[in-house]
Structure 1
Amino acid sequence: MKDKAADRSVEDRYTQWKSLVPVLYDWLANHNLVWPSLSCRWGPQVEQATYKNRQRLYLSEQTDGSVPNTLVIANVEVVKARVAAAEHISQFNEESRSPFVKKYKTIIHPGEVNRIRELPQNSNIVATHTDSPDVLIWDVENQTNRQPVLGATPSRPDLILTGHQDNAEFALAMSPTEPFVLSGGKDKSVVLWSIHDHISSLATDSGTQKSPGSNGKSGNGSTVQARGIFQGHEDTVEDVQFNPSSAQEFCSVGDDSCLILWDARTGSSPAVKVEKAHDADLHCVDWNPNDVNLILTGSADNTVRMYDRRNLTSGGIGSPVHIFEGHSAAVLCVQWSPAKASVFGSAAEDGVLNIWDHGKIGKEENGAGAENSNYPPGLFFRHAGHRDKVVDFHWNSADPWTIVSVSEDGEKTGGGGTLQIWRMIDLIYRSEEEVIEELDKFKSHLLTCSGSS
């Protein structure tokens, strides 16, 4: 009975959300997937035009075994701000595929793709995690386009990063400052690699499309040994992240409820260990690219916590700057906005993707929103377009308020889940002064028009 009631409340929330789409969104593309996807990431922009830009999108396809698992490179037409009409935004069908998303290339992946990360220095190069101890590196532009048919041999990765003693399935990051890769796994270890020398050799090969060998593989598959192995967790490491301004400093979170900061220059033991960062397993972590003191963590205790690395603990227990309570189920993914230092998103098993601004906390208590206790402090937008757990999302750094999100709601949509690309209307996130100024311009324009008639 409870499940039916829960399903009904999800459907009610979704129906209400759908009716508000033309009001809340500047653009929305809804794409029904054939197979579930566990990871979605923006790649490079490949073309700019007047009304839209073309950009690569990386997606995983987790199949049932009737065809191989794949890493998909798609082309997305990203409609520019204030171009899409409201009636166009509202006209989508949950069971159809979006004309804005088109497959460009398919790589047959050895095993399912649990996590994808692109290299900031060259976003044609991506790392993937599968159910194995290795991290796989792909030069996606040079990989051969393959047909995912039953029995097809997997594509060969360009590099294989070794060093884990057990499966490393989710924790994966690439450094913004140098071509360094970071991973965590079931062996409770955090492993660091430099792929600097290999990337330069991949770049020299990039003029020529590698032809697959007799077994249909491409890439040279050479292995890279770990630069460092870091021990300090007591359970599976679920997520890792680099300090945005140093490839030698990074953090990790795990099923031991710990947040650990590391510094490769001082050895392989934790620099700082927060013993009880949350009241349950930690699933995700992100380090603020615009304010390197702030770190976000998300947990199975349904909360997001913001830590200041200058003051992480109090008596050995985590001492967060703020606890964000806006989800009713485990938080799976957190990410800071590239556009504004105080803004971040959090996605959870409750099917909601929340957008927060920690800069609003405290200020809004005396404002108009104070009496509306339905919304926790700092929450300013709820994306409720998914009807089951939102497994991944990614802000678009080329178009900073545009987000791609993916969910496991295949049973409800008759497909393999839902991919959505969306951008809220700018009136929601712009400052009050800017909005008032714009409305004044609009008012004076109306007066001019009526005067001239």
Structure 2
Amino acid sequence: MARTKKKAQRGKTIKKKKEDVEEVEMMEEDGSGPSQPQQQQGPTKVWQPGVDEMADDEELQFDPTAYHCLHSFKLGWPCLSFDIMRDDLGVLRRDFPHSLQCVAGTQADQAGNNAIAVVRMTNITGKIPKAPSATMDEDGQDSDSESSDDEDEEEVVPEQPGAPDQPVQSKKPIFKVRLVAHQGCVNRVRAMTQQSNIVATWADTGYVQVWDMAAHLRSMATSGPDAPGQPSTVRQAPLHIFTGHKDEGYALDWSPITAGRLLSGDCKSAIHLWEPTPAGKWVVEKAPYTGHTASVEDLQWSPTEADVFASCSVDQTLRIWDTRTRSGSAIAIKAHNADINVISWNRLVSCMLASGCDDGTFRIWDLRNFKEDSFVAHFKYHTLPITSIEWSPHEQSTLSVTSADHQLTIWDLSLERDPEEEAVYQAQLKQNQAEAPEDLPPQLLFVTTGQKDLKECHWHPQIQGMLMSTAGDGFNILRPSNLDNLPAL
């Protein structure tokens, strides 16, 4: 039975008069939940990016009750792509503080300035900082964006060498980074599911490379705090380089079933299959899978069938392939009326596929009835191209979407509108919330803004309800407060 909708949570509201804005208290220090905010004066309303305008006497106000945690950091240069790297701290985690590790690729001003960044954050607390909690400026310098005269400024207590994951008295996350030189901008980066230290990168030079980041992960796990100043960039040889693509590309995916199996797709419509060898190298088939008539934008392996994968393209088609067949795709349909940028295969319900389009729409498909105009759902909320889409690894009906309209949204397809239950829920709130517009889709569960030029968002595969996103102005780590009802697996 479908769950009924609770009001869509928002990360920003409008406070009508600037002089009436009072500082909102932080989350409780132990991460147990939000403290009661101070009394706010003046009416508030939900602000819709691209729809509502702002008057001179209005400003956006951050709403901490929408989050259990929200932290930010920068790597100097923007990162078009990143991936969360699995760890050995547990397969299903909920309690704060958290630790995570990820890999990202930069988009620097010059090809020689690019790097692969391996990032480790510990002591991610369930509280909301007033400003980004870990940043690096464009020169790679560590910086603290909170003002020095802020009476609530929190001191960072360094980790102790040899015990990096022991509880510390720091109230901020502890941030470490290792940089590996990369020739050219990183269009996309993906970490292998079975061995997260093995990373593949798609460069704008047209090369796809595979790297081993194990030494950097070990270094960050066992060392003390990073020294102040710009982190050094090391040079490291990749495990494998493939130069057979005739153009750059963006599509890249590791098989969740067969360790080491990789797909790469380019802007010339070619898809190449990588097969691992016992010697730790790869054999890349020279003959590509062909069928698309324009750039291959994204690839996704089936979560249950080792030889099946999906692709999407600028040619507006979705295709299902079998690696054992070279005669073309098994199924091909015209799925949208514009470029299809991204797809996601549901890992919990393997018959469901999501696709995001250049016109701002996204659709849900049931592969048991996969044909043109047979989509299960069509959503037109975002106003600019969809830049990423991903099903939750913990809730089969939930997915995240990012768009060039600077919004990150979370959707629950099981939700339906129930005015009576919404009224009861609103009456039970300990404080008043701004009312969401009535014309929002019932399935829209959460909206957050604040990042500019959003590119990718990923769910953490081991921490329930936690997401990470990258944009032109840095990274966000967040856990929305209205995902608390996620069931245990």
Structure 1 segments (4+ residues) deviating >4 Å: 5-12, 46-51, 91-99, 365-372
Kindly indicate whether the alpha-carbon contact (under 8 Å) linking 1:259 and 1:277 is maintained by their aligned counterparts in 2: yes
Aligned to 1:406: 470
How far is the alpha carbon of 1:161 from its aligned partner? 3.4
- Equivalent position to 1:391, from 446, 455, 458: 455
Change (3 A) 1:269 1:381: same
Kindly indicate whether the alpha-carbon contact (under 8 Å) linking 1:47 and 1:53 is maintained by their aligned counterparts in 2: no
Deviation by residue 1:82-126 (Cα, 9 ceiling, x = unmatched) = x534xx434548996585262332110121111111101101111
Deviation by residue 1:399-431 (Cα, 9 ceiling, x = unmatched) = 1211111111xxxxxxxx121101011x44517
Aligned to 2:24: none
SS at match of 2:363: strand
Kindly indicate whether the alpha-carbon contact (under 8 Å) linking 2:253 and 2:301 is maintained by their aligned counterparts in 1: yes
Amino acid at match of 1:304: F
Higher helix proportion, which one? 1
* 339-348 or 33-42, larger mean C-alpha shift: 33-42
Show the 5 A alignment for 1:119-198: 119-142=192-215, 155-164=236-245, 166-179=246-259, 180-198=261-279
Amino acid at match of 2:129: I
Aligned: 1:103 with 2:162: no
Amino acid at match of 1:139: D
Q: Distance in 1 between matches of 2:377 and 2:55?
A: 31
Show the 5 A alignment for 1:337-348: 337-348=392-403
Aligned: 1:349 with 2:389: no
Show the 5 A alignment for 1:14-413: 16=60, 18-20=61-63, 22-45=64-87, 51-65=96-110, 68-77=113-122, 79=124, 84-85=126-127, 88-92=128-132, 100=173, 102-142=175-215, 155-164=236-245, 166-179=246-259, 180-198=261-279, 201=280, 224-226=283-285, 229-274=288-333, 276-313=334-371, 317-360=372-415, 363-364=416-417, 373-386=438-451, 388-408=452-472
Deviation by residue 1:163-221 (Cα, 9 ceiling, x = unmatched) = 42x223211111110121011112211211112534xx4xxxxxxxxxxxxxxxxxxxx
Change (3 A) 1:228 1:296: farther
Deviation by residue 1:141-176 (Cα, 9 ceiling, x = unmatched) = 24799x988xx8953211123542x22321111111
Q: Distance in 2 between matches of 1:235 and 1:302?
A: 20
How far is the alpha carbon of 1:8 from its aligned partner? 9.3
Change (3 A) 1:111 1:91: closer
SS at match of 1:310: helix
Identity over aligned pairs, percent: 28
SS at match of 2:249: coil
Aligned to 2:21: none
Amino acid at match of 1:58: V
For structure 1, list consecutive stretches of 5 or more residues without a partner in the other structure: 202-221, 409-416, 435-453
Higher normalized contact order (CA 8 Å, seq sep 6+, divided by chain length): 2
Amino acid at match of 1:131: D
Q: Distance in 2 between matches of 1:52 and 1:117?
A: 26
Amino acid at match of 1:381: F
How far is the alpha carbon of 1:312 from its aligned partner? 1.7
Q: Distance in 2 between matches of 1:177 and 1:307?
A: 22
SS at match of 2:87: strand
Kindly indicate whether the alpha-carbon contact (under 8 Å) linking 2:316 and 2:336 is maintained by their aligned counterparts in 1: yes
SS at match of 1:29: strand
Kindly indicate whether the alpha-carbon contact (under 8 Å) linking 1:46 and 1:54 is maintained by their aligned counterparts in 2: no
Q: What is the number of equivalent residue pairs in this alignment?
A: 379
Structure-1-length-normalised TM-score? 0.75
SS at match of 2:316: coil
How far is the alpha carbon of 1:266 from its aligned partner? 3.2
Structure-2-length-normalised TM-score? 0.70
Kindly indicate whether the alpha-carbon contact (under 8 Å) linking 1:262 and 1:272 is maintained by their aligned counterparts in 2: yes
Kindly indicate whether the alpha-carbon contact (under 8 Å) linking 2:275 and 2:282 is maintained by their aligned counterparts in 1: no
For structure 2, list consecutive stretches of 5 or more residues without a partner in the other structure: 1-48, 138-142, 146-171, 220-229, 424-435
Amino acid at match of 1:400: Q
Q: Distance in 2 between matches of 1:270 and 1:73?
A: 36
How far is the alpha carbon of 1:68 from its aligned partner? 1.5
Amino acid at match of 2:394: A
CA RMSD of aligned residues (A): 3.3
Change (3 A) 1:297 1:15: farther
Amino acid at match of 1:109: H
SS at match of 2:62: helix
SS at match of 2:278: helix
Deviation by residue 1:388-409 (Cα, 9 ceiling, x = unmatched) = 221011110111211111111x
Q: Distance in 2 between matches of 1:11 and 1:32?
A: 31
Change (3 A) 1:340 1:289: same
Amino acid at match of 2:386: V
Aligned: 1:422 with 2:478: yes
How far is the alpha carbon of 1:225 from its aligned partner? 2.3
